[in-house]
Structure 1
Amino acid sequence: MDIGYVLSGRYEIEELVGEGGMSTVYRAYDRVLARTVAIKILRDQFSANEASKGRFRKEALSAARLSHPNIVGVFDVGSDRGLDYIVMEFVAGRSLEQEMKGFRGPMPVLKAVGIVNQILDGLWHAHSHGLVHRDIKPHNILISSDGRVKIADFGIARASSEADLTQTGMVVGTVNYTSPEQAKGDVATNKSDIYSTGVLLYEMLTGKLPFTGEGQVAVAIKHISEKPSPPRRANPAISPMLERAIFKSMEKDPARRFQSAEEFKAALMLAEGAYIKRDADVKDDTIVSGAAGSATKTFRKVEGGGIGMKDRGKGGYDQKKALRNLIILVSVFVLVASAVAGGIYLAWDRWMDVDEVKVPDVVGMNIEDARVRLKELKLNAAIEDSRYDKSVPADSVISQVPAAGTSRKVNSDVELVVSLGPDLGTVPDVIGKDLREAGIILEAAGFTVGENVFEYDPAVPEGKIVRHDPPAGSMLDKGMPVTVVISQGPSPTIAVPDVIGFDYKEAESLIKAAGLNIGLIIEAVSEAYPKGTVMAQTPVAGTEVDSGSLVDLKVSTTAQSMGAGSGDGSKKFEISYTVPKETWIQEVVMKVNDTYGSRIVFGPKSLKSGEGVVQMVEVFGSGRIEVWVDGSLYKAYDV
């Protein structure tokens, strides 16, 4: 945007003042109302995107509903030469981000609390109108030249009464200040803004963020799973009451946070009052003393007076009495020292006479068995530590000090480290989440994302998790991978090719090339088709089916190739089947349907891998021979 250009014949562009992810902000002059305003213009790359333009317009409508001294006001919205823009209140001052950099460390307690109280006033107004900001951060907090704090950029504000504005699962906002529920991709609420404001206060009072890491995902995981370091460690000026308020605002569970901005502010005002009283008490305990022409000095009051020399009276200092007292003290000291030395000598002598034993090997033993074994040798089992170990069963000894075979005096301690077993965790439910969200949730629970398997699913949107292994609620060792199956959306349909008249091998190649699979093969005697030719197919050619569907084929054969006539109106056929080598065992049955009805001519019989059967089957008149494997029809012959 050129400086000097007049938007819609009214707003004269004067200066570029800031740039955001979706928009650019200029200072401009309103020629109609003769005032300075801020103009936010949607970037060119988003202007062609209807979703971005819709979100930009919703920002204006959302912010226009608010009128509060701690929220940047919205005056107008419009479009010029295809550029969408919002006209806002111009705040002469600087951002909280710039204010914090000026301190190069912690901000004074009362100043930080005062700024946050104004932020909470603005948030309370927005929340009462059903709006959640969702991106509270120093860059979006402006401080005017007269000290007024204003919340800016409701660009990703969400009207909680309009669910279509922001989808669950879309993480919007700045990860350094994001709430745990936003990091998981859940819907943000007013308590999400309270969390972000708590993070802001933490940073202002300590000069550092509560969570840092390599990359946004690492920081997001810490917001979900880790507790922040106590801010008083970084800044002792923070009172315990104020620290408790910060921790409450940053609870992982929204239900345990302050339930409103008003409640958060009330807690800060109590802490602020306690801080002011403490500061006043310190000042009251200070005594200023000095004389004309000398430097003023300050001293702390000391309750109960000081320690000094007693009044010696008129006689002054008695040297003889002091010498006598000194001799008595030295004599007593010598006697006590002699007694102590004698006691130490006797104790050492007795210790040296104590029997020694060899320390047994108790590593791998159950702790109770280890206690018994050590007690038998008059040694004590001292549990030094307990830790998770997936290779050592729970309540078993991982290590010992001293090592087995070492000589130790009886009644000595043997320090043991005992296993808590594998560090198990409950697999969370990530069905319906996208891969990024699933990764954050699984890593927060102590697991990793394992193999990614993709499959078509008509009911689950593309990119979302269909299922995972192990399933939700399963107990799994921490650090283990969870395999996720990701939806590719509905399966694309494929037209079944026409393979009638083709040799079976050619037909098989055509079907597989189309992305389909061979189903049931039925062999039938035919005089019209050469042996091995496809006579019929199901589904018929041209039918639209899902990728990977089965196509059943009827393939021609001849009576001579299958068997021979017996002269009494019957024919005999040699039917064979062999269990595949990769299969351990199968149950095989052969059936006949002919003029005399249905009957079993072989089985049921269990055959092991590699075993086969060759059965001569007699058929009277026209009929059908079927081979069934493990309860499913494997092959049929129409004869």
Structure 2
Amino acid sequence: MTQPTHTPLEREDEPMPQPVVLSGRYVLGKLLGRGGMADVFEAQDTRLGRTVAVKMLRADMARDRQLRVRFEREAQAVAALNHPNIVAVYDTGERLADPLNPGSVEVPFMVMELVIGRTLRELVRSGPIDQEKALEYVQGVLSALEYSHRAGIVHRDIKPANVMVCDDSGSVKVMDFGIARAIAESGATMTQTQAVLGTAQYLSPEQAQGQTVDARSDLYSTGCLLYELLTGRPPFIGESPVSVAYQHVQVEAPKAQEFNPEITDAVQSVLDRALQKDPDRRFQDAGAFRRALRAASAGRILPSLASADDDERTDALAVAAAAAGIGAYAAPLEVPEPASPHLGDTGEFPAVEAADDDGLLPFNDESEVRERRRRGHGGWIALLLVLALLVLGGGGYWLYSYLNQPPAVVYVAVPSVANLKDTDAFAKLTQLGLNPEFSQKPSADVAKGLAIDTIPAAGSQLAKNTKIVIEVSTGPSAAVIPQAIIGNTEAGARDMLRSIGLVPADQSKTANSATVPYGRVISVDPPAGQSVPIGSQVVLTVSTGKVAVPNLVGRTEADAKAALADLKLQAQVTLQASSTAAAGTVIGQDPAANEAVDQGGTVFLTVAEAPPAPAPAPATTAASTPTTSPTGTPSSSTSGNGNGHGNGNGNGLGLGLGG
């Protein structure tokens, strides 16, 4: 919709909706973006006097208690990240539920750095990005991942839409740290939202298979990101998220050079390594990926994976040699061949001395005797060493078996968590060593957000680490659309609906209005005041800031002006003579009927005026003509005003008196 160029007129007696204020300091402004999981608003931090961005989890997502708890934990961890390539998280909080609205829900939010720029998704829509610029962008992403991975945080949703390029510096900022992880842990499927459809194009094979992921999953997604920047398309395209996920697992990505021949062999070798299906064959950390990109910029091609395996085996041999006390580059040990009888020049065998009577060879000196005794002692020592090793081995095995005996099962009694806040109940059961999960259940007796009971119930005996379900009240099953939504801003209205468990339609309608200012809500469907089931969709109708001009032709000037005044419009009248219309009647208007004009604008009326009075005809005199009277006496007749006076005197004389 186009915003009017003038300031719309507003009724002085109409109270303006109160702005949404979070944590007593963040005043929400215009809606910056809308996603499948959260909305992003511009906001003013009144305490520090700066503009920030507030990402608020959608109310329908916040109603999932397990997701909300994990989102809050993750947000706290991400808030500790401080890196120039990561959008800073300044604060976290929770918008409290409206106590007057039983359908409202607590909604967590994150206060972040406001970045002015464009996402890589917007940049790549116009086609592939220059290779050097693409490598620069991805190196910034990898720098952010290297930092976050050291902090123990895996992003899990690297994609072009989550990387912002700053307008002022050209540097990149990675967004949405932690949110993707919380969503993944909640068990969201790939067919739930269109947002996940886009994410499926960057899923690692282990993510697509539902396996546990680590930092190398982010590196695979970064490889997909680099592929798209260089080619203008992701490595895999399909009709559904499932088909795309299948390709990630089973199909080799086509060479990027097929779509962009300008990609160098060095960069292609990096892509080949990053998009390996087996995590062990990819880059093992973001630093190695980043160094490979720098080398590719200089034209150095990565060795093939076979060569890399040979190098790894060589490194393994070197480590083993070092552990054995042998230099890594020592020459092979030379073992002398055993001595063999040697025929002399005469061809005879060397002479052998005769044995003594006791069968022993004679000894030449005392040193040979000592040598023989030393060898005998060495045998005993070797035997003792073998026995010691056997004893140690047996003792070690016994100790290993003892230490690895399965521990005795420890049972705990399930406490009562009824009427506790969901997070308090979660913490109470966790402290006992149980593994709690949330389940929502409507309740007319327990307030929304409080625990109803557990499954198994309180008093049950459970082994530690056993799963236990916390039933959380969702409160009433219906919500009343508030009257305050009328006249609110579109962003404020959407937030109000989500806070009570209703779902605003993705697309709002627009309509002209004489009284509702531009961008504010005129009406909702279902109408305000109606009770609807939780989760119902509500369609907003938002003012265009314009007024539809009625048909005024044929109405009197006074009626036309009154009709325009009711619409807060001005009238400018021009009179024009008309031979067919009655005086004071509107015979023309601009704009024409049903056309729109800005609120408070002017409508030009053409009104018929009365015709002028006809001018009197001028008097005329005819020439006198002599006539003869009946008596023969000449007389004259004079043309006058048609009035004659006759008088007979006996002579038959007649006079004509002209008036």
Q: Scaled by the length of structure 2, what TM-score is found? A: 0.39
Say which one has the larger Rg: 2
| Greater RCO, 1 or 2 (C-alpha within 8 Å, sep 6+) | 2
Q: Scaled by the length of structure 1, what TM-score is found? A: 0.40
Which structure shows the bigger proportion of residues in strand conformation? 1
